[in-house]
Structure 1
Amino acid sequence: MLLISQLKTLCSEIISAIPAIDGGFVVVIDEDNAMNKLANKPNTILVASAPSAQSMGQISSTRNNSVVIFWILTKKNTKDEIDQLEALQPLALQLQTYIHAQAEEGCNLFNFLEIDSLTIDPVYNEFGGFNGWSLMAVF
């Protein structure tokens, strides 16, 4: 299972690799926790769910895959939400590309990346007023 300290390091590396995410990152437990942490964040921010674990394999040979959801969000404003999604979509694709590249380079965190688990979805009014994209990864 991915440790929270490892997730924080990964998030720091992601925002270094994608400078347009200019609001930093937060790790959240659930929707209420996210709403509290995001209440006054005006910039584009990376949000990551605390990792959960999914057991894989047979009784005699098991491993835990981590499941993490990332969000790239910006506060809803008077712009059309489609315009906000359009502006953030390249960042979601950059995040997906970053994860692919890390897995291909042999990053230990992504040793067991399930490539078909990388799902990017638009989100509207998430966590009490943010638009953007979510990306789920199982690794």
Structure 2
Amino acid sequence: MIRVKQFDDLCKTIVDNLEINAYVLCSTDEQGSKKIKDKPGINLVAVYPNHSFTGEADSYRSLHEMLFYMVTKQKEGASNESEIEQYATTQDAVIEMKEFLFGENGYDNKLCHLFPNINISSVNIIPEYNIFGGYLGWSLALEA
């Protein structure tokens, strides 16, 4: 099980290595909105991991569902080109975070040991709009 302090350390490591402005941890959209309020630049919003189990009582496996958002403050009334640029910048950041977490593309950070049972088909990167009180970007969900 990934403990809260270990998850916090993971988020610090992501921010320090990927040139992300800041991060916040939350358990709800409302809490995320309060914590990220008016932070400039690209920010990581990490939802505390959900912990569940699969299998039988005498042989089960522990699972974590993790959800990360890579977001930036929406520019109200922005042109289509400006919005596309915001999505492109946050998309680059979320893809780089995925590569960092999985030790891909030159990242040899030993973090993949946190996800020894990852279900690769559970990894989803989804565009997000108007979340956390006016941010847009991408979410990355995974089950490990």
TM-score by length of structure 1 reads 0.89
Deviations 1:52-90 (A, max 9, x none): 112122221112211110000101114432221012111
Query: Which residue is equivalent to 1:126?
Result: 131
Query: Which residue is equivalent to 1:9?
Result: 9
1:47 deviates by 0.7
Contact 1:96 1:118 in 2 (8 A): no
Query: Which residue is equivalent to 2:43?
Result: 45
Q: For the residues of structure 2 that align with 1:35 and 1:14, how far apart are their CA atoms?
A: 20
Query: Which residue is equivalent to 2:143?
Result: 138
Q: For the residues of structure 1 that align with 2:124 and 2:112, how far apart are their CA atoms?
A: 20
**Secondary structure of the structure 2 residue equivalent to 1:51:** strand
Query: Which residue is equivalent to 1:89?
Result: 91
Give the counterpart letter for 2:59 in structure 1: S
Q: For the residues of structure 1 that align with 2:12 and 2:29, how far apart are their CA atoms?
A: 22
41-50 vs 55-64, greater mean Cα deviation? 55-64
Q: For the residues of structure 2 that align with 1:52 and 1:99, how far apart are their CA atoms?
A: 18
Query: Which residue is equivalent to 1:100?
Result: 102
Call closer, same or farther: CA 1:110–1:96 in 2, change over 3 Å: same
Call closer, same or farther: CA 1:106–1:2 in 2, change over 3 Å: closer
1:107 deviates by 3.8
Call closer, same or farther: CA 1:106–1:5 in 2, change over 3 Å: closer
Deviations 1:14-39 (A, max 9, x none): 112211x12x1111010110111011
**Secondary structure of the structure 1 residue equivalent to 2:103:** helix
**Secondary structure of the structure 2 residue equivalent to 1:43:** coil
Query: Which residue is equivalent to 2:68?
Result: 70
Q: For the residues of structure 2 that align with 1:56 and 1:110, how far apart are their CA atoms?
A: 16
For the aligned residues, what is the CA RMSD?
1.8
Give the counterpart letter for 1:34 in structure 2: G
**Secondary structure of the structure 1 residue equivalent to 2:86:** helix
1:99 deviates by 1.9
Counting matched residue pairs gives 136
1:122 deviates by 0.5
Q: For the residues of structure 1 that align with 2:13 and 2:7, how far apart are their CA atoms?
A: 10
